[in-house]
Structure 1
């Protein structure tokens, strides 16, 4: 009986270790590609995309009245929970005139590899001209890239090498109605 108990504990420990070592780098890039990279022009678009991917917001829904103002000032935040664990979060801040607000869109996750993430960003998001930025801590990696067709948009990455290995990808742009 004691053998079964020890075997069960060993399996639980292995499952926990496997989950802790799970690399969510590809998931982070995929979520960013679907939510922020298309450069949504309206907060309701971000809300619809994020909700479809499993993100849940604690705030109320974005209404048409909120988006009809001459100047928009909307912050949408949501979190992604899977298997009872908070895996990531996202935020999008829209500020400025209705016909072209500035937008800051960020997706974050835990369990991300500081070594794998830059290559995935370059491959999946067609990012170019990487600039590695200095950090005050050797466990923190910062970089930025140019993205898009000559429009000067910059994508930024921040990733920690120490557990829980938090990382975020951010893009700032001027939204245009399509």
Structure 2
């Protein structure tokens, strides 16, 4: 059975979708959710779905090996960043090479990098008068949003779309594609 660990910082809708997708799978399961936000709704979502959920602080992930040791104990086949907002530390990337992926709410390389997350991305897409946007699932490396692209899905942006409209379209793409891409990666 393949093991998935999810990192998230906020509400956890992508984490919940992944947990539910793999709940009845004989091939993979989400074994743990980790968050840098002790008040994140993702903690409640994970606990409600009977998945171990823990929060940590910046010291635990970047100044000590506490989070790395938790991951080593969990033995993940894949680490999935689903709305995780901090830069991922090099020591974890080195310990789990090509096993850390992220979903980004735009078509990278456009609208990526530090500070480009959530509504910031959607507002930039609308302000730039883009005619399409989408999601990018990519490997995580030492730079924000610069890892090798695994998958992209697109949607149209019409002139009357607000950032909230774009966010809703992106959410649909994430719900549809993210679990399937994770499943393919686990069995490649």
TM category (shorter chain) comes to: under 0.3
TM-score scaled to structure 1, two decimals? 0.25
Query: Which structure has more helix as a fraction of its residues?
Result: 2
Higher alpha-carbon Rg: 1
TM-score, length of structure 2 as denominator length: 0.24
